[in-house]
Amino acid sequence: MKLKNKWPKYYKKDVVTHYCPGCGHGIVHRLVAELMEELDVGKRAICVNPAGCAVLAYKYFDIDMLESAHGRGTAMATGIKRARPDLFVFTYQGDGDLSAIGTAETIHSANRGEHISVIFINNAVYGMTGGQMAPTTLLGMKTTTTPSGRNPGYDGYPLHITDVVATFPGVIYAERVAVDGPAGIQKTKRAIRNAFQTQIDGLGYSIVEVLSACPTNWKMTPAQSFKWITEVMTTEFPLGVLADRRKKG
């Protein structure tokens, strides 16, 4: 019998990650590693990873990685890509990293239309630090800092930062997808492929927001978390292509 799913070339062999059971990070890591191989960019790739649960991603991907200070990923990626335009440069960031402390870097790198790709993992909380409210936390959602649920009068509204940057002319490709089951995972891979191809073709900036499970802080089982993404999270963050300026390039 023949093995159908070979271990991805750019993922360290038989690695066991530190992620919680059912965490979306592991799934997105696998998709990214597969695409490094399928698009043949692994050897010239640099990933900038964040502060957040993906802080140890350099232990898993078998490509060059640089660790950023919290939120500064796209500023670092800007420098790398401008110094070495021949390299394939992408960031991997959480919603606290990208849309709270890193808002300025996120907005301005997108507005400058840097030739980088951004993988944005939205799990609606600060995962690593214990499940505090993030800008992306849903209204009414309980977190450790919103124990009776996010109240818009006091805590403000969920921030749709990918929709914001999608309005910038320098943003060539922006899509929101969800890791909420087999179909969603396949769509996520297609979206990241489109984003990566945008950079390979020299067209400019691309971003993929991935709605991703954090079963631990959501206090749900992995299967319940997937269902919650489908049924609840996508009502606040609708899926789809938010910008596609590839043809005009």
Partner 1 sequence: MADMTEKATKKGRVVVKIEMCKGCNLCIEYCKRKVLRSSEELNSMGYHPAEPDEQMQCNACMLCALVCPELAIEVYDE
**Residues at the contact surface with ligand SF4, assessed by CB under 6 A:** 19-20, 23, 25, 53, 123, 127-128, 214-217
216's contact among ligand SF4, ligand TPP, partner 1, none, with CB below 5 to 8 A by partner kind, is ligand SF4
Among 127, 135, 184, 204, binds ligand TPP (CB under 6 A): 127
Distance between CA atoms of residues 170 and 133, nearest Å: 30
**Which string of DSSP letters, residue by residue, matches 40-103?**
T-GGGEEEEE-SSGGGGGGGTBSSEEEEPSTT-HHHHHHHHHHH-TTSEEEEEEEHHIIIIITH
| Residue 39 neighbours by CB distance under 10 Å | 16
Instruction: Please tell me what DSSP assigns to residue 5.
Output: S
Residue 226 lies near partner 1 (rule: CB under 8 A): yes
Q: Of 20 and 39, which has the nearer Cβ to partner 1?
A: 20
Among 15, 84, 129, 169, binds ligand TPP (CB under 6 A): 129
Identify residues 28-87 at the interface with ligand TPP (CB under 6 A).
50-54, 70
Q: Of 5 and 148, which has the nearer Cβ to partner 1?
A: 5
Specify the 3-state DSSP secondary structure of 117: strand
Among 25, 115, 160, 176, binds partner 1 (CB under 8 A): 25
Q: How far is the CB of 125 from ligand TPP (least distance, A)?
A: 6
Buried b (16+ CB within 10 A) or exposed e, 214-225: bbbbbebebeeb
- Residues belonging to the chain: 249
Q: Of 78 and 122, which has the nearer Cβ to partner 1?
A: 122
Q: How far is the CB of 24 from partner 1 (least distance, A)?
A: 7
Identify residues 82-121 at the interface with ligand TPP (CB under 6 A).
94-97, 121
Q: First and final CA of the chain: distance in angstroms?
A: 46
Q: Of 70 and 108, which has the nearer Cβ to ligand TPP?
A: 70
Closest CA to 53 of 107, 126, 147: 126
Distance between CA atoms of residues 209 and 206, nearest Å: 10
Q: Of 70 and 190, which has the nearer Cβ to ligand TPP?
A: 70
Q: How far is the CB of 193 from ligand SF4 (least distance, A)?
A: 23
| Residue 140 neighbours by CB distance under 10 Å | 12
Among 107, 187, 222, 236, binds partner 1 (CB under 8 A): 222
Q: Of 20 and 80, which has the nearer Cβ to ligand TPP?
A: 20
